[in-house]
Copies of this chain bind each other. A is one copy, B any other.
Amino acid sequence: MKPKISDVAKVAGVSPTTVSRVLNNRGYIGEKTRKKVEEAMKQLNYFPNDVARSLFIKKTFLIGVIFPTTTNPFYGQLIFHIENIAASLGYKILLCNSQGQEDKERSYLRMLQRNQVDGIIAGAHNRGVKEYDIPTLPVVGVDRYLSGNIPVVSSDNYDGGRQATQLLINKGCENIIHINGPILLETPANLRRKAYEDVMRDNQLTPITYETEGNNQAVIKQLFDENPQVDSIFASDDLIASAVMREAKIRKRNIPSDFKVIGYDGTETTRLLLPELSTIQQPIREIAEKTIEILIKEINEEGDSQMETILPVRLIEGETT
């Protein structure tokens, strides 16, 4: 069986208390005793039991992280940074892939509470999960409004939408169509669309928005069929932009001379696989940093964190505009 503190104590010829003291560097310990204890620990290959410790100190150093799926490069990269930064601060990540399903999200939420996580970072796409209002548990949202009193961190979606649309207009486009995922009023990402519509109207152009669940090639085909005059597309993420490019090629539209595309996210993976794509790059690392900073402040009850944090985006001009 796994050795426990009392086993170490026995071997070292001291009391459990003393072993605990050595472990946590607390109180006064004689140098010889410390040596003895440390040797006993090594000899038994002792590891402290954090479950027992957590039970006592009522803190787990666990953070629950709920996103749709690590398969998506944006979330994959975001979660990487979250885990990485959390680890450097002594926190560990309990990973939850909600797949955008409300019921899963709810059951993850229960699971996380049962596991006594110190806090939760949530960036799933569901609306209406009221369970986030957990009085005793700090929660921070990423790119998503969860509830009135939960802080949200996001990048500047409005400015991103504005820059993307403006770029296409500057390049002479007039029939710009926006295509995005399901429109959720609760998400700041919806601001991309609002910015697009505002900029279009400001330029006496008619905004047209298509919605697609995930990567729906059919919607894109339909878009082209219904709008033969379309000369450019602002896609709400790079995956959709890629699908648009594919369809454009099928229709023998020459990019960028004849047809332009700009995406959104600018993840590492997209930059590697599709470097020619123009895109609005989100500051993923900074989002992760800020999110954790706020969460840990809440955990430590250093309150007063701002309710909404907006980080700047960056336009990357590739060869598709």
Listed in ascending order, the chain A residues whose CB lies under 8 Å from chain B are 1-2, 47-52, 54-55, 60, 65, 69-73, 75-77, 79-80, 83-84, 87, 92-97, 99, 108, 110-111, 113-116, 136, 215, 238-239, 242-243, 246, 267-270, 272-275
Q: 23 A-B contacts, Cβ less than 8 Å apart?
A: A48-B114, A50-B115, A50-B116, A51-B51, A51-B116, A52-B55, A69-B80, A70-B79, A70-B83, A71-B73, A71-B77, A71-B267, A71-B268, A73-B76, A75-B76, A80-B97, A83-B95, A92-B94, A92-B95, A92-B115, A94-B95, A269-B269, A270-B273
Contacts of A54 in B (CB 8 A): 51
Chain B: minimal CB distance from A80 (Å): 5
Is A97 touching B83 in the complex (CB atoms < 8 A)?
A: yes
Residue among A69, A71, A267 with the most chain B CB within 10 A? A71
Count of this chain's copies in the oligomeric assembly: 2
* Given A94-B94, A136-B2: A242 touches B70 (CB 8 Å cut-off): no
Residues of B within 8 A of A114 (CB): 47-50
Q: What's the nearest-Cβ distance from chain B to residue A54, in Å?
A: 5
- Given contacts A93-B94, A95-B95, is CB(A269)–CB(B115) below 8 Å? no
Residue ID in chain B nearest A84 by CB atoms: B97
Q: Inside 8 A of A48's CB, which chain B residues have their CB?
A: 114
- A273 nearest CB neighbor, chain B only: B273
Taking CB atoms, residues of chain B closer than 8 Å to A267 are: 71
Residues of B close to A110: CB separation below 8 A:
47
Contacts of A47 in B (CB 8 A): 110, 113-114
Contacts of A75 in B (CB 8 A): 76
Q: How far is the CB of A114 from chain B (nearest CB, A)?
A: 4
For A52, the closest partner residue in chain B by CB is B55
A75 and B71 alpha carbons, distance in the complex (Å):
8
Q: Are B116 and A49 in contact (CB under 8 A)?
A: yes
Can you name 9 extra interface pairs (CB under 8 A) apart from A47-B110, A70-B76?
A49-B116, A50-B114, A51-B54, A71-B269, A72-B76, A79-B95, A92-B94, A94-B95, A239-B273
* Complex CA distance for A211 and B238, rounded to whole angstroms: 30
In the bound complex, residues from chain B placing their C-beta under 8 Å from that of A111 are: 92
Return chain B residues, CB-CB under 8 Å to A113.
Answer: 47
Contact check, B93 vs A95: say whether CB atoms are below 8 A apart.
Answer: yes
Is the pair B239, A272 in contact by a Cβ cutoff of 8 Å? yes
A145 to B99, CA, bound (A): 32
What's the Cα separation between A2 and B113 when bound, in Å? 10
Docked CA distance A275–B250 (Å): 13
Contacting residues, chain B, for A108 (C-beta < 8 A): 87
